[in-house]
Amino acid sequence: MVRLASRMDTLPPYLFAALDERRRAVEARGVEVISLGIGDPDLPAPPVVIETVQREAARAANHRYPRYDGLPAFRAAVAAYYGRRFGVSLDRDREVLTVIGSKEGLAHLLWAYVEAGDVVLAPDPSYPVYDAHTGLAGGEVYPLPLTEERGFLPDLKAIPEDVLRRAKLLFINYPNNPTGAVADRAFLQEAVELCRRHDILLVSDAAYIEMTLEGERAPSVLEIPGAKDVAIEFYSLSKPFNMTGFRLGAAVGNAQAIAALGRIKNNSDSGQWNAVQYAGAAALEQDPEAFFAGMNQVYRARRDKLCLGLRELGWDVPMPKATFYVWAKAPGGDDQAFASRLLEAGVVVVPGSGYGKYGKGYVRVCLTVSEEDIERVLTRLRDLTPSPFAN
């Protein structure tokens, strides 16, 4: 048997792949499972997206390789949308790059900047891709704790100077997965200033930027004056447009970082299918505010039903202000044991320890099921004996 590369020793099983394997094992025993695990919208993309991809799929010209930097029409639509939505001016040719979903873009960016001995500043808990690809590239993650006491914002002033001298990248992710927290302009300003002082690339993972549940609008880091000097942001169409399967997003911002990411991608993939990019352009051009508002209303209703129902059971869960995730302390304090107990009852939640050291003791609950399924979940949890929610 050929020996694996040593870098594989740094790569844990992907959180959701492992979770899906456990789910299948329970289903094999005849248990019907309702998943509140992976953040995969259950509702369809806007009609204009479906109509456009069907039309463009029929065009023979779209059956060939796409451009490596992305379809000009899509990049232009992203630039125009950033101008309308955030008041940010972007050059579609130098400051916008098509990515095959933000996950791919985030992973490849690390390979453009990180090598042995470099430090990456990453939130904890966080999206697992930051840590996984830092390790694969030979870098070292310096975790930035996200705690309730700080509203799940990292304490940037607490980062030691020797760590800052070695740091290449600072990842931020707001609205935040998994906590549902929102960052204000003051925090984004602090992050930009820190990166400017220490020559660090600020990487904003903005996958949930359209998903705010209380009427406020989440800011882009590029709204901060001077941010384009130090920042790159990843905008994803997956969650706000219900397009997870389409795999489409954009990296925007600092031209040098965009070019570096483009060089890695040129040598790694052949771009996203043009039909999908035309569909993405149509989604952004149709003035999507009404669609976002409708989706956020759906998630707000689900959030209220789930959180109020769980509180009635005795589980003190917070009401998230953004995303479609509820981040709550696991009753009893053992997130792995609690998630396993719920899985045996046919309900999937994600143990917080899968997101990092500071996720231990929490679980993430997703709102991507119908209100009817939420009621079924509450019934199953109500019937658990003994109740895990008893004080």
On the question of pLDDT at 225 being above 90, the answer is yes
Q: Which residue has the higher pLDDT, 329 or 30?
A: 329
Higher-confidence residue of 229 and 13: namely 229
pLDDT reading at 88 higher than 90: yes
Asked if residues 127 and 205 have their Cβ atoms less than 8 Å apart, the reply is yes
Mean pLDDT within 125-141: 94
User: Which one has a higher pLDDT value, 6 or 258?
Assistant: 258
Instruction: Give the C-alpha distances (Å, rounded to integers) separating 201 from 85, 120, 373.
Output: 24, 10, 42
Q: What is the pLDDT of residues 363-383, one digit of tens each?
A: 999 999 999 999 999 999 999
pLDDT at residue 187 above 70? yes
State the CB neighbour count (10 A cutoff) for residue 308. 12
**Mean predicted confidence (pLDDT) in 221-239:** 98
pLDDT level of residue 31 (50, 70, 90 thresholds): confident
Categorize the per-residue pLDDT at 15 as very low, low, confident or very high, splitting at 50, 70 and 90.
low
Main-chain phi, psi angles of 268, to 5 degrees? -125, -35
What are the domain boundaries of the chain? 6-44+290-382, 47-287
- Write down the architecture of domain 6-44+290-382 according to CATH: Alpha-Beta Complex (3.90)
What is the band of 14 on the pLDDT scale with cuts at 50, 70, 90? low
| Per-residue pLDDT at 135 | 93
Token pair recorded at residue 288: 């999507």
Sign of CA dihedral 222, 234, 164, 260: negative
Cα separation, 389 vs 263, whole angstroms:
52
Angle at 292 between CA 286 and CA 298, to 5 degrees: 140
Q: How confident is the model at residue 119 (pLDDT cuts 50, 70, 90)?
A: very high
Q: Tell me the helices (H) and strands (E) count for the chain, helix number first.
A: 12, 12
**Is a pLDDT exceeding 80 seen at residue 16?**
no
| pLDDT tops 90 at residue 27 | no
Helix, strand, or coil (residue 202): strand
Statement: residue 9 has pLDDT above 90: no
- Transcribe 266-310 into DSSP letters: HTT-----HHHHHHHHHHHHT-THHHHHHHHHHHHHHHHHHHHHH
What value does the mean pLDDT take over residues 44-58?
A: 98
Kindly tell me the burial class for residue 337, based on how many C-beta atoms sit within 10 Å of its own C-beta (0-12, 13-18, 19 or more).
middle
Helical (H) or strand (E) element with 144: strand 140-145
Mean of the per-residue pLDDT values of the chain = 94
What's the CA gap between 318 and 315, in Å, rounded?
10
CATH topology agreement for domains 6-44+290-382 and 47-287 = no
* Confidence at 391, pLDDT banded by 50, 70, 90: low
Pick the CATH number of 47-287 from 1.10.10.10, 1.10.10.410, 3.40.640.10, 3.30.70.370: 3.40.640.10
pTM of the model: 0.95
CA distance 37 to 350: 5
**Does residue 262 have a pLDDT over 70?**
yes
Pairs from 285-293 (Cβ < 8 Å, separation ≥ 24): 285/77, 285/80, 285/81, 286/46, 286/48, 288/46, 288/210, 288/240, 288/241, 291/46, 291/240, 291/241, 292/210, 292/211, 292/240
Helix (H) or strand (E) holding 234: strand 231-236
Q: Is beta strand 231-236 parallel, antiparallel or unpaired with respect to 249-253?
A: antiparallel
Q: Give the residue, 338 or 21, on which the prediction is more confident.
A: 338
**pLDDT tops 90 at residue 148:** yes
Q: Is the pLDDT of residue 108 over 90?
A: yes
